[in-house]
Structure 1
Amino acid sequence: MAGVSSKSLAAALESLEPQLALATTALAQDLFGILELLDSNAGLRRALTDPTRAGADKAVLATKLVSGKVSATAQTVFLDLVDARWSSARDLGDALEVLAATSAIAVAEGQGGGPANLDKLEEELFGFIRVVESSHELQRAFDDAQATDAAKATLARQLAPGAGDVAALLIRQAVTAPRGLKPTALVQRFVELVAKRQQRWIAYVSVTRELTTEQLRRLQAGLNNLYGRELKINVTIDPTLVGGIKVVVGAEVVDATAATRVAELRRRLAV
């Protein structure tokens, strides 16, 4: 996904983020359900992404499609996507898939373990990939067009008996609705989304000189307070850095241009 679709997806993810702190797997299930409706009707996808069609008309169509079938949050997420611009009809479905998977991953993240839970989820997904890719028979079973979704879901669950609710949901989605991919390839995409989520827990810090133990302690405390969670800090030395410090957490960059936010960190690092 590139160009205008990439920008629309980025905006949708940003709008979704405030909803994720209290999200449950029900939101992901609702969004995957809407995706199933779109994937079953090419004409509907074209109608909802037609740039020549009035936004109000598309909103009415989208509302009729999901009203009373999904939660209010899922409906709002979907209507926002329909209101955005997409390079192709396929991109709308791809975006829904990313938002649904991200919602599920955020549930794992919020279950009391933060990055540890994400590590566990990643390993559960990798475990499924390893098992399937080690057996041509299993690969054929999941590729079998005659096999029912229920049968594939049951087999997947047997192959990952210890998987948590989120991993089970993502694996089930991959084997029942791979959307043109091998199921393991879609699970790998979900792994990549987990890795992206993990970046929210790592602070990449660049400073002009090596920090003392006390400065590192102060930096840790300042970043934890700034982001409201326990971050892992990765420090590199860059003597050419303007402003003395640069911090990257996920997609956010805090540098000398963000004077009000970086000033507190500078104060904490002061000897």
Structure 2
Amino acid sequence: MIGASREALESARERLDALADNTSTDAAALAADLARVTGLLDRETALRRVLTDPAQSGERKAELVGRLLTGQVSGEAVDLLSGMVRSRWSASRDLVDAVEELADSADLIAAERTGTLDAVEDELFRFGRIVATAPRLRAALADKRDGASAVAARAGLVRDLIGDRADEVTVRLVTRLVERPRGRSLDAGIDALCTLAAARRDRSVAVVTSAVPLSDRQRQRLGDALARLYGRQIQLNLDVDPAVIGGISVRIGDEVINGTVAERLDEVGRRMAG
């Protein structure tokens, strides 16, 4: 997001955090309400355009939210959405993306409260690695058909895979992603969820790929080195791939630090070919 949308999203995040400070707020229920609103706005193009129309006053748009959603979702969800439509948005689609992020964040807040946020983050990463190495599974979960039976089939596959093996927050997050990918690839969606989980702990995520598992000491040294380099704590998500031969590859967002033997051999080959 850029410009006005970025500022609006930041304000919405702050309002969500304020709600989360109130322990009487049911974070999991709020996540479900926000997910329903995401679906509504995703379907109703005209509605989201009205709610982001800069020519309409913020109060008028907030009143519309109240009329539409009161009694359909919780008062906390109505208040949160009312605040969001009072803000300016650079594009109507940005409002939908923001509501979806808040839904996922609310579920992660629920995990924080139960002390399972670390487990959820690790399960999301592991699920992503499993899917990345299983083409048929990946294709089934990434099926773009939006008919009721196709959506139910994808959700059922998630339940069969991790329903009794993962935290309930992980299951909800992944289920929502495969039910309504909203144009994202499965890989991008999982990466976004991992990043969001890390942000709940004020950390960035580094995907570290090595030929063999790193020892506890190596992990600590790598984490410390990356924290010094980036000036913030870095969450290490570790993956093992014998194809790298030796060394490690580190990806933080779009930046890749590649120190693998395979990469160096490729570079020698490119130079010889040139």
Specify if TM > 0.5. yes
Q: Which moved more, 1:179-188 or 1:165-174?
A: 179-188
* 1:128-180 deviation line (CA, Å, top 9, x unaligned): 21222112211221233165211111101222231111111100110001110
**What corresponds to 2:239 in structure 1?**
none
Of residues 38, 41, 53, the one that matches 1:35 is: 38
Superposed, 1:155-166 pairs within 5 Å as 155-161=157-163, 162-166=165-169
8 Å contact kept, 2:108–2:169 = yes
For residues 54 and 197 of structure 1, the distance between their equivalents in structure 2, rounded to whole angstroms, comes to: 33
CA contact (8 A) 2:58 2:87 kept: no
**Amino acid paired to 1:31:** L
2:181 counterpart (178, 183, 187): 178
1:45 to 24, 42, 48: 48
The match for 1:127 is: 126
* Paired position in structure 1 for 2:214: none
Secondary structure of the residue aligned to 2:189 is: helix
Counterpart contact for 1:131–1:159, Cα < 8 Å: no
- State whether residues 63 and 75 of structure 1, in contact with CA within 8 Å, keep that contact through their aligned partners in structure 2: yes
CA RMSD of aligned residues (A): 2.4
Query: Number of matched residues?
Result: 204
Paired residue for 1:74? 77
Amino acid at match of 1:167: T
TM-score, with structure 2 as normaliser: 0.69
Q: Return the match for 1:108 from 96, 106, 111.
A: 111
Taking structure 1 as the reference length, the TM-score comes to: 0.70
The offset of 1:54, in angstroms, is 2.3
Q: Distance in 2 between matches of 1:41 and 1:127?
A: 34
Mapped partners of 2:202, 2:44: distance in 1:
36
In 1, Cα distance between the equivalents of 2:186 and 2:152?
A: 15
Gaps of 5+ in 2: 204-223, 234-274
Q: Structure 2 CA distance, aligned partners of 1:121 and 1:164? A: 6
Q: Which letter does structure 2 place at the counterpart of 1:24? A: A
User: What does residue 198 of structure 1 align with?
Assistant: 201
Provide the rounded CA distance (Å) in 1 between the counterparts of 2:152 and 2:190.
18
Aligned-residue identity in percent: 37
CA deviation profile, 1:208-254 (whole Å, cap 9, x unmatched): xxxxxxxxxxxxxxxxxxxxxxxxx99x99xxxxxxxxx989xxxxx
Is 2:135 aligned against 1:97? Answer: no
- The aligned counterpart of 2:212 is none
